[in-house]
Each structure stands twice: as structure tokens, then as C-alpha cells.
Chains A and B, each alone.
Chain A
Amino acid sequence: MYKLEAKNANLFYGDKQALKNINIGIKPNSVTAFIGPSGCGKSTLLRCFNRMNDLIENARVEGDFLMDEINIYKDINTYELRKRIGMVFQKPNPFPKTIFENVSYGLRINGMKDKKMIEERVVESLKQSALWNEVEGSLHKSALSLSGGQQQRICIARALATEPTVLLMDEPASALDPISTAKIEDLIYTLKNKFTIVIVTHNMQQAARISDKTAFFYLGELIEFEKTKKMFTNPEEEKTQNYITGRFG
């Protein structure tokens, strides 16, 4: 059984087709990396799973997207869906509020009022995102006072607070220095036990290091979807071979 699934998925931005007949199934508690050159549709596909493309005015989706066999576009409302599928963006985007307010945001908009429960969830999320030791005494400082890497982990903690089962990450480390990147990668590795993670990355080494399976996209098509090890040692498709060896892209 798949955690996330796309069946015959097409997506259009106006007249331009950005995704062409994508079929992909993602197993629970795994890390899946989406790779491919810019404009290949990997981020677009990622954002289909929590319907972030709905925010783009002329985007149109065809086909079926499933989570736990529930149709994402038909059988569940968008807000409920996004609580179950957390998202982390390319640039750290904490709210200009305190650390505590940032992490508790998802709980509050859900209508959670119990202060003790909110506090417990905040602490747990910060621990899960390996940030607790660094911010323990400064929960009521502005999240913007943290470093870029810490800000990104705040964003991860914020996404974890509503207890999602899936975490979508859109190039979460591309704006960070190598040390912060390593921390995020370690974090992804540990989070795998509890969450299903899909990560878009431009960094091939990163994909090789952290993912179980890798999907290679090119011009809106899914070219190859394989176990990461096989993908990076012995890919089936020539295009994949060319891309991962750096011959184009």
C-alpha cells in the first residue's frame, strides 16, 4: 500500500503543460527524492500533494492524487489535508513572531486552546526537529533572531506540530551552509521513522545520501523511479545517466 500516489496526473499552467501523465507511488516511512533540472516539474508535483498549486491562479490539475487511498482533490477538504501533510519551503520562512508562536501556529489555527497541551506539542516538535537544546531558554525571542539553519528547523518544527504523517520538503537546504545542511539531513534521517518524507533537491549527493528511492524528472515527465542505490550506480535510462553524471542539467 502506498502512502502517497499519483495516477495519470497532468498539470497545466494556462496552456503550458508542466506535468505529463505522472504515475508514482510512495511507500510509508521512506524518504523519496525528486531530482531533475530546473523547470522539470518536480516542485510542481510536490505541491500537488498538499494542493499548494491551488493558490496559483491559472493552474489546472487532472488525474488522481491519493493519500492513504483517499482522493486528495475530492474526498478531503484542503485545510484538513494540509494539516496532515506538512510542508517545508526552500527559503526559511518563519513568521515574524516568537519561536513559541511560530511552532504553535498550526495548533492555534486548529482551535486548540489548552495552554498545557499547546506547550507540550511545541516542546515535542522542537525536540523532534533537534532544536530544543539550542532554543530551550529563548522560546519567546523572535524566530527571526535565529540563524538560517535554525530558522529552517523552526519551520520543520512548525510543520511537525500538527502531527502530520507526511512531510514535503522543497529544497529545504539549498539556502543553507554545509553545516546547517548536514544537520537538516541528519534530521530527515531520524524523522523517517515516523513520517513519510518527499524531498525535492538539486543536490545529487544529498539525494544519494538521504533517500531510499529517487525519482528523476525531465520536461514534466517522470523518466525513472528507482531505489536510490540502483539509480546512482546503474540507471536504466540514458537521460538519467547523463543527468546524474553531470552531462546536462
Chain B
Amino acid sequence: MKNLIRKIKFIDKTFQYLAMAATFFVLIVLCVLIWNIFSNGLLRINGSFFTNLPSRHAERAGIMTALAGMGSLLVITIVIALPIGVLSGVYLEEYGKKNKFASFIEINIANLAGVPSVIYGILGLQLFVRMAKMGNSLLAGALTLSLLIMPIIIVATREAIKAVPDSLREASYGMGATKWQTTSRITIPSALGGILTGIILAVSRAIGETAPLLVIGALVYVPFVPEGPNDQFTTLPIQIFNWTTRPQEAFIINAAAGIVVLLLITFLLNGIAIYIRNKWYKKMRY
């Protein structure tokens, strides 16, 4: 008996230390990476880095066009993906019948959320760039990214709506509310925290995407800020990718600086998502 207890305790401790070691390993790798990037890039960041156009001279090159391209790309992407994604999620959860076809769709949407992004790039290339003859424009890029993040938004919306307890819907119906009144006044507002979190996480995924945009032909050198949805564009990850392929040391530093900016934007978005989630959960403790 005593032996057994000693053995269990030993296993317990061993497991604890193994788990701890694994955590620290990941943390250390992350710290080294971040330290490496920041020590290279942080000093390169100054006002003109944000306002300069790309250039053959590393010290005069900036991320103005990349940021502008990324910003416009994201805005168009959100305008397209958000209403379609949220409405699909609401439809599937609140209105659609729960039958075999519905679970077939559910499984496929979950699968779509896990498809490698480059596949979406190939789809976008054929569908938007070639067949719809949009060329390598902002619109084609935004449509491609929309396809990429829509499954994520749908899944997040469904999960958030599913988490709203039925007792709230019953209370609303019991007052004589219609389905639309219940959905619009009770269900969606109660799920909004989860929906918003999902949207922000989807957007922060879209920000980091390079592969699908490269496939549809986003340019690596764009010396102008896009002015309309039919203009060509570049984005920050593509700009970074471009700089890292240059042989000159100074461009590598530029790339590091670009990564710092991109990381900060992603951290910021994730931070906002976590903030909203916590705030909402506090308010919505049923």
C-alpha cells in the first residue's frame, strides 16, 4: 500500500515536471524569437518608416503602401465576410432544421476552417482573378480572404448562439415575442460577445496571411497607395517576405521592423478580443 502511494506520487511529480518543462521550452523559444526580432527591428522603426514608400535603398524604404494596402484589404474583407458569415451562423443555429443535411453542412464548414490557406489562394486565382477577370486587384484579394475567414466567423457565431441558454428564448416567446423579435432582441445581443471575439480572431488571422495573396498575384513592389478596389496592392506580410529575400543586411533589418509592427497589430487585436470576451462573460453570467 505504502509502495503504491509512493509510486503514484512519483508519477504525479514526474508528470508535473514534464508539463512544466514543455511549457518553459515553448516560452523560451518564443522569447528568443521575439528578442531576436525586436533587437534587430525596434531601432529601425521611426516616423518615416511608416510614411515612406518602398525603395531600392533600404534606409529610405517604408511600409506606407503595405499598411494602406493591408488596411483597405481588411476593410473590404470585413464588409464582405462579416454579414454573410454572421447571418449564415444565425441561420444554421436558429432557423435551419436539425437533420442529416444540416450536420453534413456543419462538418464541412468546420473542415473548411482548417483548409490550408494556399488552397483558398488557388481558388481565388481561378474564380476571381481569371474567371471574373478582376486581375490581381484589391477586390480579388479581399474576396479570397473573405472565403478564408468566413468559415471561422460562421463557426464562432454558431458557438456563441448555441451558448445562449434556451430559457432566455422561452422567456421571450412566453411574452408573445415572434421568432424575429426573440432572435434580434435576445439571442443575438446575448451572443454578441462571442460573435465579436470570433470576428476579431478571424481578422487577425487574415492579417497574417501571405500565401493566398501571393498566389492571386498581389505585387511585392507597389510604389503607390491603392485608391480603389480595382487597384493593385501589397500587404505588410508580403512586404516583409519581399525584404527577407534581399541579400542586403539593411533590408533584413527592415523586415524585422516590419515584423515588429505586424506582431504589435496582431497582439493588439487579440488583446481587444480577450477584453471583449471577459467583459461580456462578466455581464452575461446567467
Contacts and interface: CB of A to CB of B under 8 A. Distances in A.
Interface string B164-189: 01011011111111100100011001
Interface residues of A, number: 27
B177 A52 contact: no
Interface string A93-114: 1111000000001100110000
A148 B164 CA distance: 19
B174 A87 contact: yes
A89 B170 contact: yes
A55 interface: yes
* Chain B: number of interface residues, binned into ranges: 20 to 34
Contacts, number: 69
B177 A144 contact: no
A171 B185 CA distance: 26
B284 interface: yes
B171 A95 contact: yes
A83 interface: yes
Contacts of A86: 174-175
Most interface-central of A80, A96, A155 (chain B CB within 10 A): A96
Nearest to B97: A57
B77 interface: no
Contact of B167 (A82, A83, A93): A93
B283 A96 contact: yes
A121 interface: no
B96 to A, nearest CB: 13
A79 interface: yes
A93 B176 contact: no
25 contacts: A50-B174, A52-B170, A52-B173, A52-B174, A55-B173, A80-B176, A82-B173, A82-B176, A83-B175, A86-B174, A86-B175, A89-B167, A91-B167, A95-B172, A95-B186, A96-B168, A96-B283, A96-B284, A105-B175, A106-B175, A109-B181, A109-B185, A144-B285, A158-B171, A159-B174
